[in-house]
Structure 1
Amino acid sequence: MLVGTRTRDEADRWAAQWREDPVDGAVEDEVVWWALDLLHGIDLPSGPEGRFLHDDDQVRQWRQDFRRLCQTYPDGEE
C-alpha cells in the first residue's frame, strides 16, 4: 500500500479475515485489534473520482500511531 507491496483491497481483505472470523485467542492484543479495525475498510471509496475515504496521509498517521502505541503498550493493554 504505502510502499507498494499491497493494494488497499488486499489490506482490507486481509484485515477482514481477522475481524470477521477470528480464531479463538489468535489476537488478544488491543493495539492489534485497533489496527485491524482501521485496515478493515481502508479501501472505502469517497466520490466518483477514485479517491479513498482515508487518504495516504491519514494512513501514514495511523502507522505512526500504531508504532507509538506498540511502544507505549508493549503487551497490548491500553
Structure 2
Amino acid sequence: MEIGEAGGASLGRCMDCGRLRADGEDGLCAHCRLRLELLRSALYAEERYGVTWVVFAALVAVILFLAISGAGSVDRGLLGAWFR
C-alpha cells in the first residue's frame, strides 16, 4: 500500500467523481461541491427569470388595457375615440 492509498482510505472518495476528498460531511470533493452549488444557483436564477417575465407581461397588459379603455372614461383613450 502506498502513502496516497493509505490517505485515500482514511479520507474517503468523492461520491460523484471518485477523487480523493479532503473534507466535507456530504461525501463530495471541493470541486463537486462547487459544481453542485453553481447548479443550484443557476436553477434559482432561471426560476427568477421566468417570474420576472410573467410580472413584466402582466404590467404591459395592464398598461395596454388602461390605454385602450381610457382609464375608465369613455371620452378618452383609443376605445372612446373609435366609438364616438
Q: Same fold (TM over 0.5)?
A: no
Q: Which structure carries more relative contact order (alpha carbon 8 Å, separation 6+)? A: 1
TM-score normalized by structure 2? 0.29
Larger radius of gyration: 2
Higher helix share: 2
